[in-house]
DNA sequence: CGAGCTCTTGATTTCTTTCAAACCGTGTGG
DNA sequence: CCACACGGTTTGAAAGAAATCAAGAGCTCG
């Protein structure tokens, strides 16, 4: 299964300089110049099955997790159980930016594995201290944080103002872009291991309606998909839908 | 009009230690111990009429604004003009947290005045340098940022998962809480100078439907309101609606 | 006093949900 | 190796929530 995610299939920790994802992480620049600092700071590698809690909402975490393989997602639940997914996390992502900026914080969301995941865990304090303050490192941190905020704000606008088709198109394009940047997929096809239920929870829709909308797009040959992959057949059309609907 | 907001009605800049809102700002602790530092850092006071642009989306701002009186709001617009309000800003709020954390950033949202506003503007660089790093100051920054993020995440979940009544109740309670913390209102009544159109844009609804929902709650005697104020008549009921719907 | 907003209400349409059932692939046990 | 159970997907029919269209009422400000 991990092999399907295209990263690693062994349980043996590797040093960060051998990690194909290292350069994409928040600490990428630090790893490049000085990888042993990071490797030494790593506390452990955690292996988790699919659909397991990684952190709970309200936790005061002093650990910092990076995803080495597999997908996870941040979410909140309402008192009656309705769930809203705030973001999907893919290999190279950090579980919680807020912990990096100010710790310890009571997390405003929970995080759960979507597929089996391998997590690199660090202790927040020493980790932050270990981030050398090169201009590159600072910029990387800033850029990653900005991108995260940007996608969060966009999400509010999308959910608030777009139709189901538009939201879906936005989500597909966002994940296409993010997987592509990390060499996990291309603009034609990328891994998308989530169930339609997760898509629904991410877009503020019901599973049934997500299915209908997805099926529409498939019937129009805009996209094609199965349990594990999303294929974009007409990128232009998808972009138009994402922009206009 | 500014008098209605309960703060100031003169154009004359005052020193921060005389400002009734100073202790609520991000630099509150710094002002308390050392207000002259902040007052000296202040570049100018800007006066703006209602419905004027404060910053544009994409701007790389190196100025940092704090609201001294009046309301403003952060928003994004889609390509076809649909608008989503991301947050209302009230006296004591900072226009853009991101600028405080990492600058200069291309702003992921625009900000516009809702009522006439008085802004205290600072240069971002010197301002950040001027924030002395007392534990209190650090904590205040951290707390404010956490609260901001929390309300952002909650907004995603609310818009994605709640019914119109639930969203409205959430918004009213949030603003009740925030104005109350700053002595701008109470749990019974607080200033709420926005048009129903803004409420609609904040909740991802249409004006017409906001009006109907608002009218419902008024008919049920849960709230009462006019152009400038919101009154909560049955706090318990409102809380229940906010929680369950 | 009139022009122009904003708010309010009614009628209708569209989008999305809900409920229900069938379908499909996969893994499991006999 | 087949039957069955299970979780996820798909489809249909009907109900419900929210949007749209349209017009009138009420303020506010020049």
The residue among A202 and B13 whose pLDDT is bigger is A202
Instruction: Look over chain A and give the mean of its residue pLDDT values, rounded to a whole number.
Output: 89
Look at residue B158 and tell me whether its pLDDT is greater than 80: yes
* pLDDT given at position A27: 86
Q: Give the one of B101, B152, B244 whose C-beta lies nearest to A80's C-beta.
A: B244
Mean pLDDT over A202-208 rounds to 98
Provide the number of CB pairs (under 8 Å) joining chain A to chain B: 93
- Calpha distance B48→B22 (Å, rounded): 20
Q: Which residues of A touch B157 (CB under 8 A)?
A: 76, 78, 84, 86
Query: In terms of CA atoms, which chain B residue is nearest residue A156?
Result: B156
- Chain A residues in contact with B162 by the CB 8 A cut-off are 78, 82
Helical H runs in chain A? 2-5, 28-41, 97-101, 124-130, 135-161, 164-181, 196-203, 207-219, 235-244
Strand partners, B231: B189, B224
Q: Report whether pLDDT(A99) > 70.
A: yes
The pLDDT value given to residue B7: 40
Instruction: Residue A107: list chain B partners with CB under 8 A.
Output: none
Please report, rounded to whole angstroms, the spatial distance between the CA atom of protein residue B203 and the C1' atom of nucleotide D23.
26
Q: Does the pLDDT at position A57 exceed 80?
A: yes
pLDDT at res. B128: 83
- Is 60 exceeded by the pLDDT of residue A45? yes
Q: Which residues contact B214 (CB under 8 A, 6 or more apart)?
A: B168, B196, B199, B223, B225
Which of B146, B156, B203 is opposite residue A155, by nearest beta carbon? B156
Residue B123's pLDDT band, with cuts at 50, 70 and 90, is: confident
- B40-95 pLDDT, tens digit each: 677 788 999 999 999 999 999 888 999 999 999 999 999 999 999 999 999 999 99
Burial B55-76 (b: 16+ CB within 10 A, else e): beeebebebbbbbbbbbbbbbb
Q: Where does the pLDDT of residue B126 fall: very low under 50, low under 70, confident under 90, or very high at 90 and above?
A: confident
Closest in B76, B82, B153 to A86, CB measured? B153
Average pLDDT over residues A30-37: 69
Distance CA A72, CA B91 (A): 38
Of B41, B51, B52, nearest to B121 by C-alpha is: B41
Q: What residues approach strand D to within 7 A at the CB?
A: A 195-197, 207-208, 211-212, 214-215, 227; B 163-165, 204-206, 208-209, 227
DSSP annotation of B104 reads: S
Whether B204 and A145 lie within 8 Å, measured CB to CB: no
Distance from CA of A45 to the nearest CA of B (A): 28
| Contact: A79, B161; criterion CB under 8 Å | no
Q: Is the pLDDT of residue B205 over 80?
A: yes
Q: Integer distance in angstroms from CA B87 to C1' D27?
A: 28
Interface of chain B against chain A, CB under 8 Å?
76, 78-80, 82-84, 86, 98, 101-102, 105-106, 108-109, 141-142, 145-146, 149-150, 152-157, 159-162, 203-204, 243-244
Nearest nt to the CA of B198 via C1' is C6
User: What local confidence, expressed as pLDDT, does residue B194 receive?
Assistant: 96
- Nearest nt to the A165 alpha carbon by C1': C15
Neighbours of A232 (CB within 10 A): 24
Q: Which residue has the higher pLDDT, B215 or A61?
A: B215
What confidence score (pLDDT) does residue B11 get? Answer: 56
* Residue of chain A whose Cα is closest to the Cα of B206: A161
The count of other CB atoms within 10 Å of the CB of residue A176 is 21
Closest CA to A5 of A84, A77, A92: A92
Q: Answer for the pair A176, A130: CB distance below 8 angstroms, yes or no.
A: no
Other Cβ atoms within 10 Å of A69 Cβ, number? 24
CA A205, B201, A171, A219: dihedral to nearest 10 degrees? Answer: 60
DSSP secondary structure code for residue B94 in this structure? B
- Residue showing tokens 């202040």: B42
Decide if B86 and A153 are in contact by the 8 Å CB cutoff. yes
Cα angle for residues A129, B129, A37 (degrees, 5° grid) = 15
| A149 min Cα distance to partner chain B (Å) | 8
What's the average model confidence in pLDDT over A6-13?
48
Residues on chain A touching B78 (C-beta within 8 angstroms): 157, 161-162
Say yes or no for a CB contact (<8 Å) between B155 and A156. Answer: yes
CA-nearest residue of chain B to A82? B161
Using the predicted structure, report yes or no on whether residue A1 has a pLDDT greater than 80.
no
Nearest to B150 by CA among A80, A112, A109, A100: A109
Residue A137's pLDDT band (cuts 50, 70, 90): confident
For residue A96, CA distances in Å to A67, A87, A93, A124, A156 come to 11, 11, 9, 11, 19
d(CA B231, CA B192): 9
Instruction: Quickly give B64 CA vs C7 C1' distance in Å.
Output: 36
3-state class (DSSP) for residue A51: coil
Distance from CA of A177 to the nearest CA of B (A): 18
Q: Quote the pLDDT of residue B62.
A: 86
Neighbours of B43 (CB within 10 A): 14
Only one residue has tokens 């940022």, namely: B145
Comparing every residue's Cα with the C1' atom of nucleotide D28, the nearest one is B227
Q: What is the pLDDT of residue B31?
A: 78
**What strand order describes the sheet that includes B229-232?**
B189-191, B229-232, B223-225
Would you state the pLDDT for residue A37? Answer: 66
Q: Evaluate whether B140 touches B29 at the Cβ level (below 8 Å).
A: yes
Contact A76 B244 (CB under 8 A): no
Nearest residue to A177 (alpha-carbon basis) of A168, A167, A190: A190
B121 forms beta bridges with B44, B65
- Measured between beta carbons, which residues in chain A are less than 8 angstroms from residue B203? 160
């Amino acid at each position: 299964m991990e092999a399907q995610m295209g990263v690693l299939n062994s349980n043996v920790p590797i040093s960060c300089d051998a990690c194909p994802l290292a350069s994409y992480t928040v600490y990428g620049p630090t790893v490049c110049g000085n990888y042993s600092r990071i490797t030494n700071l790593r506390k452990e590698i955690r292996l988790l099955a699919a659909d397991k809690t990684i952190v709970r909402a309200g936790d005061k975490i002093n650990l910092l997790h990076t995803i080495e393989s597999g997908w996870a997602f941040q979410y909140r639940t309402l008192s009656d159980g309705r769930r809203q997914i705030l973001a999907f996390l893919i290999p190279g992502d950090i579980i919680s930016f807020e912990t990096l900026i100010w710790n310890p914080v009571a997390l405003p969301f929970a995080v759960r594995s979507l597929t089996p995941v391998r997590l690199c865990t660090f202790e927040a304090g020493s980790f932050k201290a270990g981030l050398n303050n090169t201009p590159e490192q600072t910029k990387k941190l800033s850029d990653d944080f900005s991108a995260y905020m940007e996608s969060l704000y966009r999400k509010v606008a999308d959910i608030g103002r777009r139709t189901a088709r538009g939201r879906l198109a936005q989500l597909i394009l966002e994940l296409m872009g993010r997987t592509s940047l990390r060499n996990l997929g291309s603009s034609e096809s990328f891994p998308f291991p989530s169930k339609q239920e997760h898509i629904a929870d991410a877009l503020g829709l019901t599973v049934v309606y997500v299915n209908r909308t997805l099926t529409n797009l498939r019937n129009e040959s805009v996209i094609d998909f199965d349990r594990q992959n999303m294929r974009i057949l007409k990128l232009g059309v998808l972009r138009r839908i994402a922009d206009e609907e």
